[in-house]
Amino acid sequence: MDLPPLLRRAIDDALNGTALSDLAETAAALSQRYRDERHDAKPHAMSDRDALAYLAVRMPATYAAVRASFEAVADVRPDFSPRTTLDIGAGPGTALWAASGCWPGISDAVLVEASPVFRAYGERLATKAELPRITWRVADAAAETIDCGPRDLVSLAYVLNELVPAARQSVLRKLWELTADMLVVVEPGTPAGWQRILAARSQLIEAGAHVIAPCPHAHTCPLAPPDWCHFAQRVARSRAHRQTKRADVPWEDEKFIYVAVSRHPAARTGARVVARPLKAGGHTTLKLCRPDGSASDQVVSRRDGALFKRARSVDWGSLF
């Protein structure tokens, strides 16, 4: 997945004049922080240098994961056409760029971000495109009331992992109260991230939410450790991205896990592919999470005709 051209140019403009090789150490520390999933209540961007490193190496990956999650929602709920959105822990507006690309009808956005550095870069990036009307709020979602009315789309991306465990339920409760239709929570695609999503999913189902994606059901997750549910989105690395990460490969795979819930049910449309398809010459093996709450492999052979063609075309994370 590529960043939108306007966003790519805006990031390049923000990085202009910065020695990208000098950002490598900061970028490495930032990436390690994400891998370690530290929840020490400290914002990821505490300095201008931190923010630039985020723009170069983390914003493309986060955008790709959130955009893929939103597209899965749009696939299951083609009737969903949000006009208003709320994003908690907005950073430089990553999720808003993803949402406005997926749903161009969004006209009003509230972005809650505690880091003044992130907010400044978010405002700078937003001047480069026709994004919705943006209202920035400084608030700690774990400790303060979010001052806005219900929004069509509410998102919480890569934030639960930053919260101490005791704060997660209260934050989700607040966000569900502010959700007029759809709430999307995205986390790193690690076993720990999956466990956080499972806990959020259970809490929201108990609160009356309807699961939209990725699960094609509201039953207990059929996967068990050491297995875990997650997805991967291939991210195209720009020249700045490669230089900052000191990487030669022109792409990377961002692993993520998400749950999307709504106040309105959706028609079930199939099983979810929950692992990379295994393709051989005359058959394809798909690991499927099914609407009845089960998960199993399905082997589709050339003899299955149109079904085989469909199996050859689906990706990890697709509906089948």
Confidence of residue 37 (pLDDT cuts 50, 70, 90): low
Residues 280, 175, single domain; the answer is no
Residues 51, 107, single domain; the answer is yes
Q: Which of 191-195, 210-214, 237-241, 284-288 has the lowest mean pLDDT?
A: 237-241
Residues 258, 276, single domain; the answer is no
Return the pLDDT at 24: 74
Q: For residue 185, give its domain range.
A: 5-262
**Can you tell me which residue has the tokens 């914002």?**
43
Residues 57, 188, single domain; the answer is yes
Number of domains the chain contains: 2
Long-range contacts of 95-99 (CB under 8 A, 24+ apart): 95/62, 95/66, 95/155, 95/157, 96/131, 96/132, 96/134, 97/4, 97/7, 97/63, 97/125, 97/129, 97/131, 98/63, 98/66, 98/67, 98/70, 99/66, 99/70, 99/153, 99/155
Confidence of residue 99 (pLDDT cuts 50, 70, 90): very high
Q: How many CA atoms lie within 13 A of 236 on its CB side?
A: 8
319 within some domain: no
Q: Using CA atoms of 89, 216, 72, 94 in order, give the dihedral in degrees to the nearest 10.
A: 10
Encoded amino acid at 42, one letter:
K
Return d(Cα 296, Cα 288) in angstroms, integer: 6
Q: What is the pLDDT of the chain when averaged over all its residues? A: 91
Choose among 143, 189, 139, 186: nearest CA to 166: 143
Residues 257, 304, single domain; the answer is no
Return d(Cα 143, Cα 180) in angstroms, integer: 22
**Residues 6 or more apart from 264 whose CB is under 8 A from it?**
77, 181, 210
Return the pLDDT at 313: 94
Please answer whether residues 216 and 268 qualify as being in contact, where contact means their C-beta atoms are separated by less than 8 angstroms. Answer: yes
The β-bridge partners of 286 are: 298
306 within some domain: yes
Mean pLDDT confidence for 67-72? 98
Residues 187, 279, single domain; the answer is no
Given a cut of 90, whether residue 213 has pLDDT beyond it is yes
Residues 141, 203, single domain; the answer is yes
Q: What is the DSSP letter of 132?
A: P
Q: Encoding tokens for residue 114?
A: 């505690």
pLDDT digits (tens, 9 = 90+) for 104-159: 999 999 999 989 999 999 999 998 788 889 999 988 888 878 888 999 999 999 99
267 within some domain: no
Return d(Cα 163, Cα 2) in angstroms, integer: 29
pLDDT > 90 fraction of the chain, expressed in percent and rounded: 71
CATH number at residue 227: 3.40.50.150
- Other Cβ atoms less than 10 A from the Cβ of 143: the count is 10
- Length reported for the chain: 320
Residues 113, 25, single domain; the answer is yes
Please answer whether residues 209 and 182 qualify as being in contact, where contact means their C-beta atoms are separated by less than 8 angstroms. Answer: no
